[in-house]
């Protein structure tokens, strides 16, 4: 039996290790820029693609704004689409959502609340490594990580009934335990603090 194929080697840019960005984009007839926008919730990383033939935004056919889906890593992932629009004569602006790519977001080390992370090892949408990093770096003293061998992104849809039931049972067991652990203690403390004095 042949060994499984090796994952591709990571490169510096999505097109490879060279040329450098300015040269690469110029070879496609484009101008690329990166910037940060300060939002009320943190800095958003943005980048834009313009045809070199356009001296200003008024010289383009129109403006396209693109944002990745919540489950994707960043706007970097769909750059080929942005490049295509720019080569067709449009100005294209992309942004990474907060907590993704190069935008600000809550740092793993700041997560202190109890949490459960579940992830399928064969997830083709997001990497289980992200879940491992959250688990390892989070400051929380009550954290759990369950990796489901051979399961995919949803963990519920597209899985066998047995797998789905296992995931749901693990989730229920985890949340019921937190209610038992923290809910009863919190309820008892609240009751003690608000207990009425016995009648004289």
Range 108-191: architecture per CATH = 3-Layer(aba) Sandwich (3.40)
Quote the CA–CA distance of 47 and 36 in Å, as a whole number.
8
Using alpha carbons, list the distances in angstroms from residue 88 to 12, 54, 60, 67, 141: 26, 12, 9, 19, 52
Of 5 and 49, more confident: 49
**pLDDT tens across 66-107, in order?**
877 655 555 666 788 889 889 999 999 988 888 777 888 776
Q: Are 145 and 174 in contact (CB under 8 A)?
A: no
Q: Hey, where are the domains in the chain?
A: 21-95, 108-191
Residue 63: pLDDT band with limits 50, 70, 90: confident
Mean pLDDT of the chain: 82
Flag whether pLDDT at 112 surpasses 60: yes
Q: What is the pTM of this model?
A: 0.54
pLDDT in tens, 23-58: 999 999 999 999 999 988 889 999 999 999 877 666
């Amino acid at each position: 039996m042949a060994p499984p194929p090796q994952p591709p080697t990571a490169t510096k840019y999505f097109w490879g290790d060279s040329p450098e960005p300015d040269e690469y984009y110029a070879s496609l007839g484009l101008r690329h820029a990166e910037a940060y926008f300060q939002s009320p919730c943190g800095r958003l990383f943005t980048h834009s693609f313009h045809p070199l033939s356009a001296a200003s935004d008024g010289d383009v056919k129109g403006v396209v704004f693109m944002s990745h889906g919540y489950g994707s890593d960043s706007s970097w992932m769909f750059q080929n689409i942005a490049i295509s629009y720019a080569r067709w004569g449009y100005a294209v602006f992309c942004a990474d959502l907060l907590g993704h790519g190069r935008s600000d977001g809550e740092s793993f080390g700041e997560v202190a609340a109890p949490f459960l992370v579940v992830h399928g090892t064969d997830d083709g949408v997001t990497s289980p490594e992200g879940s491992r990093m959250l688990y390892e770096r989070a400051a929380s003293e009550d954290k759990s990580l369950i990796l489901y061998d051979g399961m995919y992104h949803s963990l519920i849809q597209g899985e066998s009934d047995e797998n789905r039931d296992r995931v749901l049972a693990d989730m229920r067991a985890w949340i019921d335990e937190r209610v038992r652990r923290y809910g009863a203690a919190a309820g008892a403390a609240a009751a003690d603090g608000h207990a009425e004095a016995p009648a004289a």
